[in-house]
Amino acid sequence: MAKSDTSHHDERIANMAFGSVLPHYISKIEKKGRTQEEMYSVIQWLTGYDKDQILAHAANKTNFRDFFDQCELNPNANLITGVICGYRVEEISNETTRQCRYLDKLIDELARGKKLERILRKPK
């Protein structure tokens, strides 16, 4: 059964630098034969940031709270469902934590070989 209470780490996630996690995303997807360009496409779909903006946030050590507060979250992001890190993403009440888990879920799907068209959700 997935957990839904993230309150014990919401603040830690919000204050974590996006740039400290990006290399882990890159490593994860490249080990599975996916490209950085695919990863940037996924992040752009979720946030609206282009590759240069993503890299600027990483270089500027933007925390996840500001990273998501400053973006135009994709209106279909709520179609991202499932369990990541033991949490059902659609049940996470803290907005920043849920958005971080959206991103984690998309990167995980990319690494697992899911087709890009399926990762970039469109309403039915």
pLDDT at position 2: 59
Cα dihedral angle (88, 123, 77, 56), rounded to 10 degrees? 140
Residues 5 and 102: their CA atoms lie apart, in Å, by 16
> What pLDDT score does 16 carry?
97
Residue where the block lists tokens 């009440």: 93
Sign of the torsion formed by the C-alpha atoms of 86, 89, 95 and 100: positive
Decide if 45 is inside a domain.
Answer: yes
Number of domains observed in the structure of the chain: 1
Taking the C-alpha atoms of residue 79 and residue 38, their distance in angstroms, rounded to an integer, is 20
Whether residue 124 lies inside any domain: the answer is no
At 85 the pLDDT is: 82
Cβ atoms within 10 Å, residue 103: 22
The confidence score (pLDDT) of residue 122 equals 79
pLDDT of residue 5: 66
In a domain, 4, yes or no: no
CATH number of the domain to which 59 belongs: 1.10.8.290
Would you mind telling me the total number of residues written for the chain in this entry? 124
User: What does the pLDDT read at residue 100?
Assistant: 97
Could you tell me if residue 74 is inside a domain? yes
Return averaged pLDDT per consecutive 10 residues of the chain, 124 residues in all.
Answer: 71 97 98 98 98 98 98 96 91 95 97 95 74
Is residue 49 within 8 Å of 43, Cβ to Cβ?
yes
Residue 5 lies in a domain: no
Range of the domain at 103: 10-119
pLDDT at 83: 93
Please write down the HEC assignment for all residues of 72-116: CCCCCHHHCCCEECCEEHHHCCCHHHHHHHHHHHHHHHHHCCCCH
Q: Give residue 4's pLDDT.
A: 57
Q: Which residues contact 119 (CB under 8 A, 6 or more apart)?
A: 42, 45, 106, 109, 110
pLDDT at 6 (0 to 100):
75
pLDDT for residue 73: 97
In a domain, 56, yes or no: yes
Classify residue 82: in a domain, yes or no. yes
Question: What is the predicted pLDDT for the residue at 57?
Answer: 98
